[in-house]
Amino acid sequence: MAKKLVRAFSAFCLIPLASAVSAASLPDYQTNSAWFTDSIERLEERVALSREEKTAKNVILFVGDGMGISTLTAARILEGQLRGENGEENALSFEEFPYSALIKTYNTNQQTPDSAGTMTAMMTGVKTRAGVINIDEDALRADCASAEGKELNTFLELMENRGRSTGIVSTARLTHATPAATYSRSPERGWEYEAEGNCVDIATQMIELEYGDGIDVMLGGGRRSFTTTDVGGKREDGRDLTSEWLQRYEGEQSAAYVQTGTALASVDLASTDKLLGLFTSSHMSYDADRIAKESDEPSIAEMTGIAIELLQKDSDGYFLMVESGRIDHGHHAGNAYNALHDAIAFADAVQVALDKVDLEDTLILVTADHSHVMTIAGYPTRGNSILGKVIENDDSGAAKAEVETADDDLPYTTLTYANGLGFADLGENTDADERYEIAADAGRKDLSGIDTEAPGFHQEALVHLGSESHAGEDISLHAIGAGAKLVQGSLEQSALFHVMTAATDLSLTEE
């Protein structure tokens, strides 16, 4: 029955099934999954409504890691306030897109998900367990033997095997869960540079991708997963994967490997076929930290622009995934300042894509993988600093002269976290991760003399955890371009795979 549904959906979308390549066809257990078939059924009606839409030759998927609705709202306000406006009336670049939907993010074993399971759903059309990358939910986490025969194929791999170009951009390590889910299969997201049993580590899978001729553009952090311990890396197998990657294309294609923003900017894209950029040992800097310390790292907008320019050389089309990974990390540290500034930088990257592509043949999708427990509360007056303390209106509607206090007679901020490490005042320090180096301080604090708008301020938290947690509510999906009409209503996260395949007329199975 599932096979018939796939074929019916393919025919309904005018997908040329004969063009399927068996090496990248989806296995039966993937197309038989209830997540897979349910998404097809739900999208059939939307496909009928969008038949007049042009087919997308190119797809750009933007993922703001941890960019829930409250993060969008706060980032929107902050961006406006940085321009001297009230902020509430502002709109981030992608909030102007004509189509949007709510996305349900739960994993098969958790109400509140993790990035491995959520990105697997987007890339394969199948939901799975937390911590597992492109492996069916019947496998056990960190159990290599249980994953055999349960591997799921991704949209990136399908595009590669159909002659399209592909790319990944991330401010996190390129072997981290979200970017890794575009190209790898692993029962444990932590196996970035070494794996157990017969499983292959994620970094090796990236540079050895067998589909097509491999990924064309890879820009982000995580150099340590590709290099050996004697040069500051993590690999103990003696392999330098960056050298192996260059050797793979020697004499066949022009490949370039860069480690700085300056080197990236100087790459001759016209004469470059393959591009690998690993700009930091682990994750890239928070955007505010990158600017403050004048780090020689490219911004997410710069990486996005260069990736698109290289991929656009392929007249057959391309797929690009761009992740802002450090929104998530700012929230985990309980630091709204960095999370929101990285969300604004992410919106800038979306604008770069809008300026470079032709929406007649390109679909741009902007979404998140999950939310966070940051809340916007109290009754701050219009234009109140989103990072500041709450000032309410008086009975006449005018803003009060003094900061509002709670029932405990202490001031409070508009943004707080339901859980996490809690309060910290690191002043002008822009590195949110340093919060983990000092003792946890959850609960209410006297913020009277604290500059809560400083980069190093970490919001109060109600429940003490060693790291602030993800949240389980729906996130948003925004769409523009060819095939964007498919994005409406409320969707399972696994439906994003089908949105992309339907928009591109990408075949899923053989005749």
- Give 110-165 pLDDT, tens digit per residue: 999 999 999 999 999 999 999 999 999 999 999 999 999 999 999 999 999 999 99
What residues contact residue 380 under an 8 Å CB cut-off, 6+ apart? 390, 391, 392, 404, 414
Residue 465 pLDDT: 97
Span 42-78, pLDDT tens digits: 777 556 544 456 799 999 999 999 999 999 999 999 9
Q: What is the DSSP letter of 286?
A: P
pLDDT category, 25, cuts 50, 70, 90?
confident
How far apart are the C-alpha atoms of 291 and 342, rounded to whole Å? 12
Task: Report the distance separating Cα 272 and Cα 267, nearest Å.
Answer: 8
Mean pLDDT of 349-366: 98
* All structural domains of the chain: 2-374+498-504 (3.40.720.10)
Q: Which of 39, 70, 115, 469 is catalytic?
A: 115
Question: How many angstroms separate the CA atoms of 328 and 63, rounded?
Answer: 11
Residue 485: its pLDDT value, please?
93
Query: Is 115 annotated as catalytic?
Result: yes
- Given this model, what pLDDT does residue 52 score? 52
Helices 115-124 and 495-504, packing angle to 10 deg: 30
**Tokens 């939310």 belong to residue:** 371
Angle at 86 between CA 80 and CA 88, to 5 degrees: 70
pLDDT tops 70 at residue 6: no
Backbone Cα Rg of the chain: 23
d(Cα 506, Cα 493) in Å, to the nearest integer?
A: 19
456-337-299-483 Cα dihedral, nearest 10 degrees: 160
The Cα 351–Cα 61 span in angstroms is: 13
Q: In the chain, helix, strand, coil percent, each to 5?
A: 35, 20, 45
pLDDT value for 98:
94
* Res 454: pLDDT: 98
Nearest to 223 by CA among 296, 286, 189, 172: 172
Model confidence pLDDT, tens digit, residues 490-510: 999 999 999 999 999 987 764
Q: Given a cut of 60, is residue 459 above it in pLDDT?
A: yes
Average pLDDT over every residue of 464-471: 98
What pLDDT, on a 0 to 100 scale, did the predictor assign at position 397?
83
